[in-house]
Each structure stands twice: as structure tokens, then as C-alpha cells.
């Protein structure tokens, strides 16, 4: 009797099955990444001038150090998935004038902006991970938790981008951004959202990927 062939896995399921993804979200497991990155020299040179411009900005040190926390902690097997399942843009020419932006599929994941000589961040996550009852109800935002997850309560604010169960969290200042990224509940929520969109298929922003910035997002 013949057997029905199994469909080829899509998205991150090519690299981590669903159980492995759940373990990674919970911080129960780390998985071996690729030894070498699959890199396009043409793509690296394309954004070299923008990267040099970023390095001249007073916020450059903080930007690269924060990305050094975000990359290994918030993106699974980043070498295997670089560019094709996530990307980072350097000084993208959008109206909000970000310094860097991380994307997956068609979705913004994380953006850093100038805040004087410091930085501010925008995290896009699931609203249901930040409500008191785990619902996607805007009126149930767990504001006390958000305020406790940063250095000072006034450093955090939020917005409701278009889309079901989508939540934007603004964090002001590098000290508060670091504290936010160190919180276990926050990290679990970021990982969950990022996996949701990386599993949706190939990244739509491959052409704007800046390898020079991504260098700072690799675990080593």
C-alpha cells in the first residue's frame, strides 16, 4: 500500500520543528546554527555607505550593542535564516527616519530611532502577551507590568498598529531597552511574535538587508 508523501516543511519548520520552536521560546533549548553565513558580497557593498553613515551617528555604539542583544536572543538560528527569513535595514528611507529596522515576512519586528544622542525602540508583539487576561483586548493592557519592565515608568508607552492581535511598545533610552530585553516574559513574547512571522514564509525585505549591521546580530 502506497503512502501519501509528506509535504515539505515551510518557514522555520525547515530548521526547527514545532516542539523545538516551543522550547526555544521558553528558553529551554539552544540549537546549533550554521557555521558559515550565506552571504552576497554585492548585497554587502550595496549598503556599505549607509553603514559608514550610521557609524558617524552619535547613537551608533548603542545601536550596535542593542542589536548584539536582540539578534542572538530574539531570532532563532540567525545564520541559517539570515536575509531570507529575517533582515535588518540600515537607515531605511521611510518617513519615520529609523536608524535600523528588523523585519520578517511582511512585518516590522523591531526598530531603533535616535532620541537625542541616545536611542528609543519600537517592539511589535502580540497584544495578547501583554494583557492581564491574555486576550487581544486593548483595554486589558497590563500597564503595571510594562512600567516595571523598564528603568523608569515614563520610558514606556504603547500603540495599536493595524492588524489582529498586534501591539506596539515604545521604549525610550538604552538603559530601559536593555532592561526590557532582559525580562523573561518580554523575551518570550518577542520570540513568539518573531516566530509567527518567520514561519509565514520568505522575508519580503531581502533586498534591503544590510550585512554590515547584521554582523553585530550574530552570536559570536
- d(Cα 105, Cα 89) in Å, to the nearest integer? 14
Q: Between vectors from CA 180 to CA 183 and to CA 145, what angle results, nearest 5°?
A: 70
* Cα-based distances in Å from 89 to 18, 66, 92, 93: 28, 15, 6, 10
DSSP-derived secondary structure letter, 115: E
Measured CA to CA, the distance from residue 11 to residue 4 in angstroms comes to 22
Residue 28: band (very low, low, confident or very high) from pLDDT cuts 50, 70, 90: confident
Per DSSP, 7 falls in state P
Q: In this predicted structure, what is the pLDDT of residue 5?
A: 46
- pLDDT, one tens digit per residue, over 85-98 is 999 999 998 989 99
- Which run of H or of E encompasses 199? none
Residue 3 confidence (pLDDT) above 80: no
| 187 confidence band (pLDDT: 50, 70, 90) | very high
Q: What is the mean pLDDT of residues 117-130?
A: 97
Nearest to 188 by CA among 147, 128, 138: 128
Q: Does the structure show a pLDDT above 60 at 208?
A: yes
pLDDT of residue 104: 95
Mean pLDDT of the residues in the chain: 91
* Residue 156 predicted with pLDDT over 90: yes
The DSSP output letter for 157 is E
Average of pLDDT values for 73-83?
90
The predicted structure's pLDDT at residue 1: 45
pLDDT for 34-59, tens place per residue? 567 777 788 889 999 999 999 999 99
pLDDT of residue 32: 66
- Tell me the percentage of the chain whose pLDDT exceeds 90: 71
pLDDT range class, residue 4, cuts 50, 70, 90: very low
Q: What's the half-sphere exposure (Cβ side, CA atoms, 13 Å) at 187?
A: 19
User: Where are the domains positioned within the chain?
Assistant: 39-217
Amino acid at each position: 500500500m502506497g503512502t501519501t508523501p509528506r509535504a515539505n516543511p515551510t518557514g522555520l519548520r525547515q530548521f526547527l520543528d514545532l516542539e523545538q520552536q516551543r522550547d526555544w521560546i521558553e528558553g529551554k533549548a539552544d540549537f546549533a546554527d550554521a557555521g558559515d553565513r550565506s552571504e552576497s558580497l554585492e548585497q554587502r557593498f550595496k549598503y556599505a555607505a549607509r553603514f559608514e553613515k550610521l557609524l558617524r551617528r552619535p547613537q551608533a555604539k548603542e545601536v550596535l550593542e542593542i542589536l548584539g542583544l536582540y539578534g542572538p536572543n530574539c531570532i532563532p538560528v540567525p545564520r541559517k535564516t539570515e536575509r531570507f527569513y529575517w533582515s535588518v535595514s540600515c537607515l531605511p528611507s521611510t518617513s519615520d527616519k529609523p536608524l535600523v529596522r528588523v523585519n520578517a515576512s511582511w512585518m516590522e519586528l523591531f526598530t531603533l530611532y535616535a532620541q537625542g544622542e541616545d536611542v528609543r525602540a519600537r517592539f511589535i508583539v502580540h497584544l495578547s502577551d501583554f494583557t492581564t487576561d491574555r486576550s487581544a483586548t486593548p483595554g486589558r493592557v497590563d500597564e503595571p507590568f510594562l512600567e516595571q519592565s523598564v528603568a523608569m515608568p515614563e520610558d514606556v508607552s504603547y500603540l495599536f498598529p493595524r492588524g489582529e492581535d498586534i501591539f506596539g511598545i515604545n521604549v525610550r533610552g538604552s538603559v530601559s531597552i536593555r532592561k526590557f530585553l532582559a525580562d523573561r516574559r518580554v523575551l518570550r513574547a518577542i520570540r513568539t511574535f518573531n516566530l509567527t512571522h518567520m514561519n509565514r514564509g520568505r522575508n519580503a525585505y531581502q533586498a534591503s538587508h544590510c550585512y554590515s549591521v547584521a554582523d553585530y546580530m550574530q552570536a559570536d
